[in-house]
Amino acid sequence: MKAKRMLALMLALTLFLSLSAAVAVSAAEAVPGGFTDVAEADWFYEDVRCVHDAGLMIGKGDGIFDPDGQITGAEAVTIAARVHSILTTGSPDAADHYQTYADEPWYWTYVNYIDRYVGYFGSIGSYDSPTSRRDFARLLASAVGDGAEEINEIAQNAVPDLEENALTAGIYRLYRAGILTGNDERGAFLPDAPIRRSETAAIAARILDPTLRKSITLTQTGWQFDTAYTAPGGWFTLTLPDWWEDEVLIWSGKSSFKEDKCSIAFYCREAVEATGYEYGGFLGAVGIRPHADSRSWPWPVMEIAAVTYPDGQTYDITLHFASDVQYAPGTEEAYARQFRSVQAVAAAMRFPEGCRVTLHEDTARELLQNALTAAYENIYGPFTPLETKPEGAVPDSEYLRWVIPHLEVSDETDEYYEFPVIFPFRVDKRTGEVFKHYNGLDPFTVPFDPAAPDALAFAG
């Protein structure tokens, strides 16, 4: 397969050298395609010439290339299909003339081609809306395959805003081949940003003409699991367990819901790396969308908070789960542990300074259950919940085994939720912090430290 790809790339290079020579002898064709919005001084001039001469990008019509315009999902599929056709046949014709039905949208020719010849299973978002840099690059990487020669030293996880895993391996291949270079001196990818047509032309031209590829070096590992992870755009921050590095993947990007402003998905690493399929081992996804008073969800959802950001806009923060259970390879116990940890990480998420946060009751309950369970295991040993409330006078350790999984709100103010345990506990609606409350003659509230030896002693 690799030899076949290399032969195809050599064929494409020969095609472009001949095309470039033919264009060079024609002074009348100084501007590729006669585009009125592309000048010889533009950084993308040669890239536009390359993709135009190959029949890969032919412009918007009326002499317009629209270099600052954004690529839609339909255009992304079209470009990827033509790239694959050029690399394998030397011409875009195979993709342009792929059989389709008359009543299908124009781009369905290319969708059918990709499905049959490329086998891409990822997302490109809406066909009519701008696609993200991540989705476009993953699609192109699938069209190119593994035939592009590596010319750059790119360390594992060296792209500062893109973890290297089974979902992003193709993007890293494009970096190592000099097809992608990043958007700053660090090599940042900006995965969630839309991609401009000029940038698209540059990437596609480097795929087709190896002489245009760029040499870069990225050696600094930018992805850290033992520190906080801030979502693209700064919407929120997650604190990740150290053991996630080996077991849980994070994929930041837009979900299939157009209303979502940001989405972070979590996957079982073992499942994804074993199957190479985007939805293998799906654990859940945090989504942020404009606040709605009434909502309905197509799959199970944990509502985390309503957050008003400094610009005055309010958003609902939710954790979406798979509509059906997708067991990961290995033990169900390991999968259950990962699934549970995702809930805990999402419940404890932090928001930028200046935000007004109102945690959902379920999130407050989740945070308190986690804290109480940690305290129980620190004092009494492994925690085993009870489904039935024990009768009569029982030790606190026995009562806690029932009450922790059955917590209910007994009081609520603008600042906190209160839960009766052995004595009252409060969860701050804004920060998620947990407190013990003493409601005696002189009431007071103290922070709850699950690691303290007296964590479950009466607050007074």
Question: Residue 146's pLDDT band (boundaries 50, 70, 90)?
Answer: confident
pLDDT for res 247:
86
> What is the average per-residue pLDDT within 284-304?
79
> What is the average per-residue pLDDT within 325-336?
62
Question: Residue 291's pLDDT band (boundaries 50, 70, 90)?
Answer: confident
More confident residue, 2 or 432: 432
Tell me if 151 sits within 8 A of 212, measured CB to CB. no
Question: Residue 198's pLDDT band (boundaries 50, 70, 90)?
Answer: very high
**Domain residue extents for the chain:** 2-218, 228-358, 363-447
**Dihedral Cα 78, 97, 149, 5, nearest 10 deg:** 140
- From 137, 119, 128, select the one nearest 79 (Cα to Cα): 137
pLDDT above 90 (res 232):
no
Read off the pLDDT of residues 23-38 as tens digits, 9 standing for 90 and up: 333 333 456 778 999 9
Class of residue 242 by CB neighbours under 10 A (exposed 0-12, middle 13-18, buried 19+): exposed
> What is the average per-residue pLDDT within 39-51?
92
DSSP state of 240: -
Which of 348-357, 385-394, 439-448 is the least confident region? Answer: 439-448
DSSP state of 29: G
Sheet strands (E) in 190-329: 217-218, 228-230, 237-239, 248-252, 262-268, 282-290, 301-308, 314-320
Question: Residue 296's pLDDT band (boundaries 50, 70, 90)?
Answer: low
